[in-house]
Structure 1
Amino acid sequence: MTEVKANMAGNVWKVVVKQGDSVEADQDVVILESMKMEIPIATEEAGTVKELKVAEGDFVNEGDIIAIID
């Protein structure tokens, strides 16, 4: 199990995957918006999206769990 975490604070601009999707290592899961920049957040390991912890428009802090990959 892998926890995908935010590497900075920002708003969830776009959720790229949905629960149940298969993902590859280094695949983007969400795109954060911070200071008018778009920052992609990727998973480090391949697997299946078990749970999404955020939705578009949510605010996350650095270290918050975005998704769980199994």
Structure 2
Amino acid sequence: MIDAKAEIVGNVWKILAREGDQVGPGDPLVILETMKMEIPVVAPAHGHVASVLVSEGQIVQEGDPVVEIDDTLGA
């Protein structure tokens, strides 16, 4: 399993990924909002979304995992 992590402190504005979605490197998973800017959290690798670890409106810290990706199934 691989975690996609928040790179900044921010508010989870929108969740784009759903459990079971197939993703690849760079695919946007979650949009964070900070200081009126929208910052995407992207998939670090190919795989399937195993779980979304945050909810919309939640505050996350830098380094917090937001989506867990199962990279053992292939893409």
TM-score under structure 1 length normalisation: 0.96
Structure 2 residue runs without a partner (length 5+):
71-75
Cα RMSD, aligned residues only: 0.6
SS of 1:18 mapped into structure 2: coil
Correspondences of 1:1-70 after superposition (within 5 Å): 1-70=1-70
The structure with more radius of gyration? 2
> Which runs of at least 4 in structure 1 moved beyond 4 Å after TM superposition?
none
Q: How far did residue 44 of structure 1 move?
A: 1.1
TM-score under structure 2 length normalisation: 0.90
Percent identical residues: 46
CA distance in 1 between counterparts of 2:67 and 2:44 reads 12
